[in-house]
Structure 1
Amino acid sequence: MSALVESPLQLLCAVEAFADGHLRTPPGDRTRVVARSDVPTLATAVGAVRDLGLPDGLDVTVGPTSRTLDDAPVHLVGDPFSGVFQTALARSRTVGRLVVVDDGLATLDVARRLVDAAPMIRLTAPAGPLRHTLGMLTTRRLRRLARAGRLTLCTMLPLDDELTGALTALGVDVVGHAFGWLASRPADDASSDVDEPTVVVGSGLVADRLVHADQYAAWLTGLAADGPVRYIPHRRHDTLVTALFEQLPGVRVDDPGAPVELRLRGLRPDQRVVSLPSTSAVTLTRLLTPRGVAVLPQDVPDAWWTTRATPALRDHLGLAAHLARAAGPRSTAGRHGSRSVA
């Protein structure tokens, strides 16, 4: 089996997919997941996952990516929008079974484009003719795999019935997970050094120039005024903004480091997690609300958005709060919910 992961979340979801039995190889063979060596913080994430104790039969390494898909019976990918994956898929004559795992909210866009037969082009990417052609070829190839019963979507996202039904009608095997493997790992030592009552999970929206940095900084300053805050920067973070946060009284800034799903799984019920709309709001809801920890995704006020944030992208990112509510226990979602930071 071959697997390509290009982000910490993809790595974590690949391990979950293996633990759930979706990536099993013939007896005696081992499954190998390769994490891209040129992605910041991914090597750190690999080390953190290994430290938890990998499931038997699974190896995770950091290395170069292949230009083609090999003849393994099962392939795993976390980002069908990736140019690396799309090029490898186009160069491969035959593909066995393909398992798609989560790459954040982008997985919803992948699912919709698959159903609508639209080209696999991410919302933030320029739609030039070459990229459009490669994206369309990818969609057609994935739909053929689905019709042949060789495409699986393994997701922690709470997909609605309409989208799930459309994917199933196309032939996609949709399977869900709630981070069962990670939840089974001992959490006694996790988050033992996080004493602050509020943990803020940083957003990549500032570094991506989708949200104004001054508005974002003012929001964190307001949170710090209410009490001590632990701030965990996104792996794509604006270094100037992060440096400013380090000077704020009551704010302790961590390194981006390992995935927050690993670092925060041991939080106590008297602590809370706050973030802007993001995938981590959904993943942490899955992991922490059963422990009584409040996870609070905050709506982004209209004034925060830059001109780079198109209406379609805003709507897409705005789904995070809805999905976080759907991912948690019904009573917890209703009690905490999301709120505006205006």
Structure 2
Amino acid sequence: MTDLAWAESPLQLLSALEARHAGLLGPVQVRVRPGSDALHATAREVIRLGLSPKTDLIFTEKTGRTRSTGAIGDAFSGRAQAGLLLHRAPERIVLLDDGLATLHLLGLLCGPWKQPLVRARARPGRLRRAFSGLAGRRLRSLAHRGRVVFFTGLPVPAPLLARARRVGIPVVSHDFAWLRSLPPAPPPERRTVVLGTSLVANGLVEREPYLRWLEGVTAREPVVYHPHRRECPRVLELLREDPAVTLVEGDLPVELSLRGLTSEHRVLSLPSTALTSLRVLHGPGGPRVEGVGVPAAWWTERADPALRTHLSLSVLGPEFV
């Protein structure tokens, strides 16, 4: 019987392939939601590099149904909640990584039964809140019956891990073994790599202080800049004019494009899940991955204290999380 995975982002797709490699999924059909250039580019690249045996990728708007194991990349997605939670549930559900929202999801599943499954910044209307509340109760019920597995490459804080065990959710960790098994990628020619951010485009961080910080970095040495897929257009416009910046304007996630980093490289970034995934992917012998904390003056009023704390988790090394 074929398992089913539903992916709506590049990291969700990579997580589904890691779950197949780790044995949490058997023969699997990975359904990739169309409409995202980055997701399509990632799918084409992993097909080119070679999928695990009995792994198929298809582009479709339909989540599909399975009686065996269903893997969900974003349990906050209305489409995922409707397709895999509110119909007849599969025998087992594997929850895959989707950035820092993954830890928020695990915290919600360990909480009150009536708490809806909504993103940290979401302000859902009454109907959406009721729908997400039903999805949350369904998923918690399955978890209490031993039918939910949490699969992640992120370090899970010990208190949250203990809560998950108490409610019956096993947490299975991985270190991107499938990605590391792929043919090596060429390393960047420049020593310092800067990862872009969506915080400016999302209105959470002021643009001018971020640009001044970048100017300070490039004044010391030339860098390779990997934009976020939701990067501020004005930031990219200015970086294209800077001779000290090599702008890598591709659609691949850094977990794929930067898997060739060496111990001679350094990675800089504002809070980002990519900091954690690159640390895990390369291990202790890899590059220096340095998270840059956001000074208080950079935040806009749209970033409340709880959100600032949540986003800043990725800046810390795994020993602090």
Matched with 1:288 is 282
Q: Is residue 145 from structure 1 mapped to residue 142 from structure 2 by the alignment?
A: yes
Q: Could you tell me which of 166, 181, 192 is aligned with 1:184? A: 181
Question: SS of the residue aligned with 1:210?
Answer: coil
Contact 2:76 2:119 in 1 (8 A): yes
The residue type equivalent to 2:266 in the other structure is R
1:34-113 map, 5 Å = 34-66=31-63, 69-89=64-84, 91-113=86-108
Cα distance in 2 between the residues matched to 1:21 and 1:103: 19
Stretch moving more, 54-63 or 83-92: 83-92
Q: Does structure 1 retain, via aligned residues, the 8 Å contact 2:291–2:316? A: no
| Displacement after TM superposition at 1:93 (Å) | 3.2
Aligned to 1:167, what secondary structure does the other structure show? helix
- Relative to structure 1, the CA distance from residue 228 to residue 46 in structure 2 (aligned partners, 3 Å threshold; closer, same or farther) is same
Deviation at 1:326, TM superposition (A): 5.3
Q: Sequence identity, in percent? A: 40
In structure 2, do the counterparts of structure 1 residues 252 and 129 end up closer, same or farther at CA, with 3 Å as the change threshold?
Answer: same
Q: How does 1:248-287 map to 2 (within 5 A)?
A: 248-287=242-281
Cα deviation digits, residues 152-195 of structure 1 (max 9, x gap)? 100111112221121112111211101111112221xx134x21
Q: Secondary structure at the match of 1:152?
A: strand
Q: TM-score, normalised by structure 1?
A: 0.89
RMSD: 1.6
Distance 2:89 2:212 in 1: 53
Report the counterpart of residue 13 of structure 2 in structure 1: 11
Tell whether the 8 Å contact from 2:65 to 2:83 is kept in structure 1 after alignment.
Answer: no
Flag structure 1 segments of 5+ consecutive residues without an equivalent. Answer: 25-29, 328-342
Q: Distance in 2 between matches of 1:324 and 1:168?
A: 20
Between the two proteins, the alignment pairs up a number of residues equal to 317
Label 1:191 to 1:202 Cα distance change in 2 as closer, same or farther (>3 A).
farther
What SS class does the counterpart of residue 119 from structure 2 fall into?
Answer: coil
**Equivalent residue number for residue 132 of structure 1:** 129
SS in 2 for 1:295: strand
TM-score, normalised relative to structure 2: 0.94
Where 2:308 maps in the other structure, the secondary structure is helix
Task: Name the structure 2 match of 1:203.
Answer: 197
Does residue 168 of the first structure (1) align with residue 165 of the second (2)? yes
Q: What residue number does 1:335 align with?
A: none
Query: Match of 2:62, as an amino acid?
Result: T
